[in-house]
Copies of this chain bind each other. A is one copy, B any other.
């Protein structure tokens, strides 16, 4: 059985949805020898999220950022958690909507992503530092 785990550090990114498949896989456990398994990714933050979506047209990422800002606006009158900046409470809500983790199947030594799927880091803060992801690979040889 395979169990392998790494702690990934992503450099600071501007607010928005970012395609980070290559950056993540460069630091994640190598699935090459895994015939069948799962790769789990978990971001240790409450104001940035992980998602999977289209890896081609960058306008998809821009539209996601614009639409999440529309659904979860800054300075809504019902927010009470306002002392950490106008985008902080929206960041927490976006994180609950999108989620902090992904589980991706591994088949024959590769992630079994669809042709158009890539891994997104969704940065909800205006001036965030780097982000930490725990990557756990399990499976069989």
Contact = CB atoms under 8 A, between A and B. Distances in A.
B113 A44 contact: yes
Contacts of A78: 63, 66-67, 70
A26 interface: no
Interface in A92-131: 92-93, 95-105, 107, 112-117, 120
A134 B117 contact: no
Given A51-B96, A53-B92, A105 B59 contact: no
A33 to B, nearest CB: 14
A71 B67 CA distance: 10
Contact of A105 (B99, B113, B134): B134
A117 B38 contact: no
B116 A40 contact: no
Contacts of A76: 67, 70
A3 B139 contact: yes
B93 A37 contact: no
B79 A63 contact: yes
Interface of A: 1, 3-5, 36-38, 40, 42-46, 51-54, 57, 59-60, 62-64, 66-67, 70-72, 76, 78-81, 89, 92-93, 95-105, 107, 112-117, 120, 132, 134, 136, 138-140
